[in-house]
Amino acid sequence: MLKVKNINTYYGQVHALKNVSLHLREGEIVTLIGANGAGKTTTLNSLSALIPPKSGEILFNGAPIASLSPDRIVELGISQVPEGRQVFKPLSVEDNLELGAYLRYRRREKRSEIRKDLEQVFALFPRLLERRKQPAGTLSGGEQQMLAIGRALMARPKLLLLDEPSMGLAPLVVQEIFAVIETLRREKGTTVLLVEQNARAALKMADRGYVMETGKVILEGEAAELLENRDVQRAYLGRDKKEIWER
């Protein structure tokens, strides 16, 4: 469904992505792990056309998308849930969700269809329903994350890009959010590219994973394999050499 071939992305002079390649099959959950500054967020932003790559190719369902504008990317069915939620704080929860469907309003899609998706998001995250009239800025971190995911879902994405959904959240809330991601895949067949610092949780849920370091993909494989990989364990799963040795 998505093929990224050798993209190179720059922030001014800084070469942030070096020949990054990856792919996602329909219905897969793939995770991108790595330390801070490895280029995970940049990869997502290149896909969303916020920072278009200088060279390389991005194919979505066979069509090149690397030179499109951010709104065209959303229109094609790729929605990003950005790092740090980025909800529209002064606007109400409901307005935030409606804006997720902005392009569908522009296309003059039936209001009843959009309403139906709104109800679905509320069913997925009942806490948002309780707070539908509240300004998004007054929600807790976890609720804002739910809102950011709900907002992305309102566009009916085929591919969901999630950037560190667990950042700064309590473990229980993280579990809740991860459970929703799995539900989405099961019930709607949504393909997910998940960027996480919490590598263990991400690999447990994902089918496959890529490991990034200093702008390069250094390792890829089945999630279960990566969980067992000693380098990954040492570098990202917090196990030191001794523990690995003892097993």
Q: Which residues bind other proteins (CB under 8 A)?
A: 48, 50, 69-71, 74-75, 79-80, 82, 86-91, 95, 98-100, 102-103, 105-106, 135, 137-141, 151-152, 155
Looking only at the bridges linking them, the beta strands covering 208-213 and 29-34 are: parallel
Q: Which residue has the tokens 């003892």?
A: 246
Q: How far is the CB of 34 from other proteins (least distance, A)?
A: 22
Q: Is 136 exposed, middle or buried (0-12, 13-18, 19+ CB in 10 A)?
A: buried
Nearer to other proteins, 87 or 235 (CB): 87
44, 161 contact by CB (below 8 A): yes
What is the distance, to the nearest Å, from the Cα of residue 234 to the centroid of all Cα atoms in its chain? 25
Three-state secondary structure call for residue 183: helix
CB of 165 to other proteins, least distance (A): 15
How far apart are CB 74 and other proteins at their closest, in Å? 4
Strand partners, 64: 59
To other proteins, the closest distance from the beta carbon of 185 in angstroms equals 21
